Amino acid sequence: MAPTRRTAEQTRWRLALAAVVLLGGAMLVLASFQVWLSVATDTGGVTQISGWGSIGGDNELAGSNLNDLTGGEGSFRPAVTVLVGAGLAVVLAVALAVPTRSEHPYRIPAAVLVLVGLLTMGYGLLRLFSPDPLAVLADGEAMAGPGQYLTLGAGILLIAPAVAVLIGVVDPLERPPHRGIQR
């Protein structure tokens, strides 16, 4: 089987798409440290809870962790799920960046990337519309923070390069013609 040839433009596209996937992974890491839950206080301020459960704002609970306060009855760590998606995005970006010699080498990483992008988008939407998974607050009392929006945006950012790979942007040129009568 003769090796396939790639042009410099295809290599640039492949590396640019891998960089976009890395950017999506970086957005997911950033989202994990952002505020995921905001609650208005009686004094007119706002209490904010990060993706790891740390409480901030103008509340007497500021500086503590929501996971410690639940007494083992639940856990508020949406950042864990987001970091799993970020780790997968980094692995898939490396898979896109590494050159190979087969005809359609990036189809499987692109398909997995679509799945990771859809799952992170779905998780961002789920937490956007239901920001309090522990149900410790009254309905409508909890507000979503920027963590959900970053997760949603990162999911979209992960799907875009995968679609470009699946439509053939980084596919190699046709095989070089063979000499002689054999094919």
Quick: pLDDT tens for 35-60.
888 888 878 888 888 888 888 887 77
Domain range summary for the chain, segments of one domain joined by +: 13-166
> Do residues 96 and 109 make contact, with C-beta atoms less than 8 angstroms apart?
yes
pTM for the structure as a whole: 0.83
State the fold for domain 13-166: Butyryl-CoA Dehydrogenase, subunit A; domain 3 (1.20.140)
Cα distances from 167 to residues 49, 104, 141, 148, 161, in angstroms, run 41, 11, 44, 29, 10
pLDDT digits (tens, 9 = 90+) for 135-167: 667 777 888 889 999 999 999 999 999 999 998
User: Does residue 113 register a pLDDT over 60?
Assistant: yes
